[in-house]
């Protein structure tokens, strides 16, 4: 029932984009690729359309959505009291994997987009398909990741189809996404600005442009304060545990689990032949690997990490997927 259309530079896509534009203008939801993950998009000014996003995802309505626009100039039509540092971030990182939390102009977005907050998360995605769609549409698009709430975000059209078949009319397939995890979310309404969600744009890169930036204590596993942080995220079906990437330790864990007649999937940079299943661990492969675990009969998943050396955003997603459990 859900149609997937391939949109790449080798085919004439006018017709495909026209269909997507018609659906969104008509109050429907369309999935499209961004450079981070696939988004589930609707007209950000149409509350009924935005409701359909929450329904398709099964998303709690107190968790606000990110608004996507085609340029800094368009973004500035929808926000106010924009600090100088936010403008600097826009110039340095847009289009790109950085969402800025700013004061929304009152009565601009449908209130369910922002979950009733006075602020909005807004970004310009760096993907030709997303930008083309936004330019043709000439409207802001509210788009969370296109997964069922709680599940790993989709990095391929097939992931979206798996979660959204029969729930939305159209998926634009732009191939696998490059970055593979969601954008960095930076709250510009506090001083110094606070990273609410780490992503490809790092604390260090931000600090080079705007000076001191804080990392939200919520991203380090403390009690959540803001919307979205309190819910389970990226969770595969089987319980996931973190384990130090140490071959002896891992082989011992595999033996122990096999002793209990349980099957085990390992996420690692190295192949473990004694494991029942082994999938790659890397930022751009994480969600696909988690979804592949769901296709197996593994009773338990081990993610092999060296916490001090891991990419901060990858570690953040793994800790959430594991609900901070370490194998012992
Ligand atoms: O890369 C991405 O950001 C992807 C692609 C599709 O753009 N989108 C995405 O959206 O990850 P979503 O809805 O899955 O995550 C949005 C995050 C949530 O953690 C939400 O709580 C936070 O941004 N957020 C949105 N608006 C906010 C606001 N006004 N204040 C604080 N946090 C906000
Ligand atoms: Mg999401």
Among residues 298, 148, 166, 328, which one has the least CA distance to residue 233? 148
The residue whose two tokens read 């204590």 is: 217
Q: Which residues are bridge partners to 39 per DSSP? A: 32, 145
Q: Tell me: the pLDDT tens digits for 105-140?
A: 999 999 999 999 999 999 999 999 999 999 999 999
The reply to whether ligand 1 has any atom less than 6 angstroms from the CB of 147 is no
Are the beta carbons of 5 and 173 closer than 8 angstroms?
Answer: yes
The reply to whether ligand 1 has any atom less than 6 angstroms from the CB of 185 is yes
Q: What's the per-residue H, E or C state across 52-100?
A: HHHHHHCCCCCCCCEEECCCHHHHHHHEECCCHHHHHHHHHHCCCCEEE
Atom of ligand 1 nearest to the CA of 36: 1
Question: What does the pLDDT read at residue 233?
Answer: 79
Question: What does the pLDDT read at residue 193?
Answer: 98
Q: Which ligand is nearest to the CA of 233?
A: 2
Q: Measure CA 60 to chain center.
A: 16
The reply to whether ligand 1 has any atom less than 6 angstroms from the CB of 205 is no
Half-sphere exposure of 316 (CA within 13 A, CB side): 23
List, as residue ranges, the binding site for L-threonine.
36, 68, 123, 183
From the CA of 33, how far away is ligand 1's center (Å)? 15
ipTM over 0.85: yes
Write b or e for each residue in 298-328: b if 16 or more Cβ atoms lie within 10 A of its Cβ, otherwise e: bebbbbbbeeeebeebbbbbbbbbbeeeebe
Q: Is 215 helix (H, G, I), strand (E, B) or coil?
A: strand
Q: Tell me: the pLDDT tens digits for 178-200?
A: 999 999 999 999 999 999 999 99
The reply to whether ligand 1 has any atom less than 6 angstroms from the CB of 101 is yes
Rounded CA separation 90/103 (Å):
15
Out of 99, 126, 232, 286, mutate this one to test ligand 1's pocket (max ligand atoms within 8 Å of CB): namely 99
Alpha-carbon distances, residue 150 vs 39, 107, 179, 231 (angstroms): 15, 30, 20, 7
Q: Tell me: the pLDDT tens digits for 10-37?
A: 667 889 999 999 999 999 999 999 999 9
DSSP secondary structure code for residue 273 in this structure: T
Q: Which residues are bridge partners to 265 per DSSP? A: 277, 301
């Amino acid at each position: 029932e859900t149609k997937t259309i391939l949109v790449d530079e080798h085919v004439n896509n006018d017709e495909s984009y026209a269909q997507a534009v018609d659906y969104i203008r008509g109050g429907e939801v369309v999935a499209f690729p961004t450079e981070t993950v696939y988004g589930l998009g609707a007209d950000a000014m149409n509350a009924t359309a935005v409701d359909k996003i929450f329904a398709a995802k099964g998303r709690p309505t107190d968790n606000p959505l990110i608004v996507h626009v085609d340029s800094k100039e368009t973004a500035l039509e929808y926000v106010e009291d924009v600090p100088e540092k936010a403008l600097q971030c826009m110039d340095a990182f847009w289009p790109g994997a950085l969402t800025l939390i700013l004061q929304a102009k009152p009565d601009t977005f449908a209130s369910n987009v922002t979950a009733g907050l006075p602020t909005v998360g807004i970004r310009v995605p760096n993907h030709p398909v997303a930008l083309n769609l936004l330019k043709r549409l000439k409207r802001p698009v509210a788009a969370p990741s296109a997964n069922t709430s709680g599940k790993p975000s989709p990095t391929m059209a097939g992931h979206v189809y798996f979660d959204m078949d029969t729930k939305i009319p159209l998926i634009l397939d732009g191939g696998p996404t490059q970055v593979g995890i969601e954008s960095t979310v930076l709250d510009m309404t506090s001083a110094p600005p606070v990273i609410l969600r780490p992503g490809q744009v790092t604390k260090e890169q931000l600090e080079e442009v705007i000076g001191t930036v804080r990392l939200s204590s919520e991203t380090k596993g403390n009690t959540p304060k803001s919307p979205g942080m309190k819910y389970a995220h990226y969770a595969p079906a089987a319980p996931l545990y973190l384990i130090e990437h140490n071959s002896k330790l891992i082989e011992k864990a595999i033996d122990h689990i096999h002793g209990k007649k349980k099957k085990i999937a390992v996420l690692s940079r190295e192949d473990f032949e004694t494991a029942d299943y082994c999938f790659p661990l890397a930022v751009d492969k994480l969600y696909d690997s988690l979804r592949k675990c769901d296709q197996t009969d593994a009773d338990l998943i081990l993610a092999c990490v060296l916490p001090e050396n891991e990419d901060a955003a990858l570690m953040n997603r793994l800790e959430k997927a594991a609900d901070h459990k370490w194998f012992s």
